[in-house]
Amino acid sequence: MISIGIIANPASGKDIRRLVSHATVIDNNEKINIVERIVLGAQALGVERVYMMPDSYNIGYRVEDKLNTCDELKCEINVINMFRFDGIEDTLKAAEFMENLNVGCIVVLGGDGTNRAVAKVTKNTPLISISTGTNNAYPVMMEGTIAGMAAAAVASNRFNNRLFVEKDKRIEIYKENELKDIALIDAVVSKDLFVGAKAIWDMNNIEKIFVSRSHPASIGFSSVVGCKKIINPNDDYGAYLDLNSNDTKIMAAVAAGIVIPISVSEPVILNFDDEYEYITKSRGTIALDGEREIQFSENQKYIFKISRNGPNHVNVKKILETAQINGFFTV
Amino acid sequence: MNITNEQVKNMYQTMLKIRKFETRAKDLFAEGKIPGFVHLYIGEEATATGACANLRDEDYITSTHRGHGHIIAKGGDLKNMMAELFGKETGYCKGKGGSMHIADATKGILGANGIVGAGHNIAAGAGLAIQYKKTDQVCVCFFGDASTNQSTFHESMNLASVWKLPVIFVCENNGYGISVSQARHQAITDVSVRASAYNMPGVTIDGNDIFAVYEAVGEAVSRARKGQGPTLVECKTYRWRGHFEGDMTVYRPNGELDAWLKKDPIPRIEKYMLENNIMSEAEIANENAAVDNMIKDAEKFAEESNVASLESALVDIYSDMVEEGRVR
């Protein structure tokens, strides 16, 4: 049976960035619309079963109900039967479950944080990441129908994954030789004293930025590095730089609608084998993909490393090109 | 947005005051010493405390039927509050209002309110008054998830946005309107999305995380003080007790309360303080003992005060403000 998974984070698109920047609100009804289109795109090209993460808004059941009502549902929607925590735990558990079921592809609706959670527990399953916000560097804005068609092509197992699945990098953060956490795009050392509302926006509080990739066309901290140096997803290295170092000033899109001058040092390349040792000078936090996650106190040692141990993401354009070349769309 | 150790300690003390006041009110109500109804705030302490930590004495709040936490967080006096619950003449309303009508104009507390959704319009009115007087005060409007189905919510949000009033709408989404779960009374899970209908920022945060509340409401307050208009901050939280004391909470699914007990905001701030050497175990124990004494003093004050006299029944009930206006 050809199956895919869908993880739609009901909490994304509503955090404090709507207040401190000009980020867009994506409500859950819009997520239902997107999921509907993913399902319709996927079933049209052969997907027979869609596994969905359960959530407080019952996105899976609502999609099933809507598509049944208009007699358009041809595949089976299976909302995973698991205890719901209504937190990040649900994403971790659902992604792990889907990987164990060997679904052909997981479509993730959320922001960088949602994708980071999925990346923590999936090793093999290819991901298609759709951004449901305006402050994301990893997932991209994409039409749900197209994402569903691409997921179907991947899950069909008719094509060689090496043609369109790319292994991403990640930033690994170690404390006392133990992997403490990961980031997909950026890790930031901040003077913010607590995790609180998670998002991070005050550039004056930021000391150091680590990135696995950087480009001026992205948004957030990878944009800050990207305005000095471009690091592509396929480059086998990352970089770091210091903020507020009074070296040079650049203009960067640090958040939706916020393009401000920032004082930065020259980026330093961090190769895969390199370890950057950081001793904390005072209390603060480490933000991973834009969200404060790790709280630290004075004189603690953290190691930052870049590796190619990130998730497998689907290059949607390439899989659809491969599908076209091989007659996948021919009826 | 950062915070000093002293501010963290103050917030901890406020949360303890709310928890212990409410816990004692529960017992006193069960003993028959408190007449009328009480709607307790236990479990939601981080929301009122984190929000009011951003306010000054001259700023305003409007409250709800579950108002004790808001009033304590805004600096209300425990003795006058307890006396009001007891119906004593030393109470905030001279014993005539009870639990649901505590107000203190000197602290900007525009009153708890027995009518669901009645605070929204009062808050918008306060915001209009602030704008008229050209001060940088703000008004924080506390309300529950179910009250956002009332027209007052929508009218107030609309006018506050149109007129850019300095109002921060703080929704305490505890998942229930009396005994009706949010899923059965609302076609949305996140009240914050209603803000976009009124062209104002809306955010959803963990209402049991004191720092998340402090930070989000702090940003909203800062925006309001600068004349940039209102914000809707939705705090996801949970009331441990029933809608009112005596409610058997048969409508709650098994395990729901247990899951929320694990998110208790008070141990969370204690953990933060211990990890960051803000308070030691001994200092935390001392603080708890000090707050216990405050509650005992408040109870003693209430017990020893006189019940409002029969002769005073009509005093302070009718205003001659209209007549005064005519004279002028």
ipTM of the complex: 0.88
**Residue among B195, B212, B272 whose CB faces A197 most closely:** B212
DSSP collapsed to 3 states, chain A: CCEEEEEECCCCCCCCHHHHCCCCCCCHHHHHHHHHHHHHHHHHCCCCEEEECCCCCCHHHHHHHHHHHCCCCCCEEEECCCCCCCCHHHHHHHHHHHHHCCCCCEEEEECHHHHHHHHHHCCCCEEEEEECCCCCCCCECCCHHHHHHHHHHHHCCCCCHHHCEEECCEEEEEECCEEEEEECCEEEEECCCCCCCCECCCHHHEEEEEECCECCCCCCHHHHHHCCCCECCCCCEEEEEEEEEEEEEEEEEEECCEEEEEEECCCEEEECCCCEEEECCCCEEEEECCEEEEEECCCCEEEEEEECCCCEEECHHHHHHHHHHCCCCCC
Q: Could you tell me if A179 and A109 lie in one domain?
A: no
Under 8 Å between Cβ of A33 and A134: no
Q: Could you tell me if A198 and A246 lie in one domain?
A: yes
* B215 chain-A contacts, CB cut-off 8 A: 16, 194, 196-197
Interface of A with B (CB under 8 A): 10-11, 14-16, 18-20, 25, 27-29, 56-57, 85, 191-198, 202, 205, 283, 295, 297
Cβ distance of B216 and A195 shorter than 8 Å? no
Q: Could you tell me if A100 and A179 lie in one domain?
A: no
Q: Is residue A331 part of a domain?
A: no
- The angle formed by the CA atoms of residues A153, A154 and A160, to the nearest 5 degrees, is 110
Q: Within 10 A of A114 (CB to CB), how many other CB atoms are there? A: 27
Q: Is residue A95 part of a domain?
A: yes
Per-residue pLDDT, averaged over B136-156, amounts to 97
Read off the CATH number of the domain in which A147 is found: 3.40.50
Q: Could you tell me if A70 and A21 lie in one domain?
A: yes
Q: Could you tell me if A126 and A63 lie in one domain?
A: yes
Q: Within 10 A of B126 (CB to CB), how many other CB atoms are there? A: 25
Residues B47-95: tens digit of each pLDDT = 999 999 999 999 999 999 999 999 999 999 999 999 999 999 999 999 9
Q: Could you tell me if A101 and A124 lie in one domain?
A: yes
Q: What is the pLDDT of residue A295?
A: 94
**Residue among A15, A27, A194 whose CB faces B203 most closely:** A15
| Residues of chain A below pLDDT 70 | none
pLDDT category at B328 given cuts 50, 70, 90 is: very low
Q: Could you tell me if A145 and A240 lie in one domain?
A: no
Domain count, chain B: 1
Closest CA in chain A for residue B183? A57
Domain count, chain A: 2
Task: Look up residue A229 and give its amino acid.
Answer: K
Q: Could you tell me if A142 and A183 lie in one domain?
A: no
Q: Is residue A29 part of a domain?
A: yes
Read off the CATH number of the domain in which B94 is found: 3.40.50.970
Find residue A270's DSSP bridge partners: A238
Closest-CA residue to B37 (of B281, B217, B199, B244): B244
Q: Could you tell me if A256 and A190 lie in one domain?
A: yes
| A-to-B residue pairs, Cβ atoms closer than 8 angstroms | 83
Cβ distance of A25 and B202 shorter than 8 Å? yes
Cβ distance of B203 and A195 shorter than 8 Å? no
* A204 chain-B contacts, CB cut-off 8 A: none
* B275 chain-A contacts, CB cut-off 8 A: 295, 297
**Alpha carbon of A112: minimum distance to chain B alpha carbons (Å):** 17
**Residue among B189, B202, B212 whose CB faces A18 most closely:** B202
Cβ distance of B215 and A197 shorter than 8 Å? yes
Q: Is residue A273 part of a domain?
A: yes
**Alpha carbon of B139: minimum distance to chain A alpha carbons (Å):** 17
Q: Is residue A157 part of a domain?
A: yes
Closest CA in chain A for residue B175? A56
Q: Could you tell me if A149 and A9 lie in one domain?
A: yes
Domain that holds residue B182: 5-327
* A10 chain-B contacts, CB cut-off 8 A: 189-190
pLDDT at B165 over 70: yes
Q: Is residue A256 part of a domain?
A: yes
**Alpha carbon of B42: minimum distance to chain A alpha carbons (Å):** 21
Cβ distance of A194 and B219 shorter than 8 Å? no
Q: Could you tell me if A237 and A297 lie in one domain?
A: yes
pLDDT at B322 over 90: no
Residues B92-108: tens digit of each pLDDT = 999 999 999 999 999 99
The helix/strand/coil state of B51 is helix
Q: Is residue A330 part of a domain?
A: no
Rounded to whole angstroms, the Cα distance separating A193 from B93 reads 41
**Alpha carbon of A294: minimum distance to chain B alpha carbons (Å):** 12
Q: Could you tell me if A18 and A57 lie in one domain?
A: yes
Read off the CATH number of the domain in which A275 is found: 2.60.200.30
Domain that holds residue A131: 3-168+311-325
**Residue among B189, B203, B272 whose CB faces A19 most closely:** B203
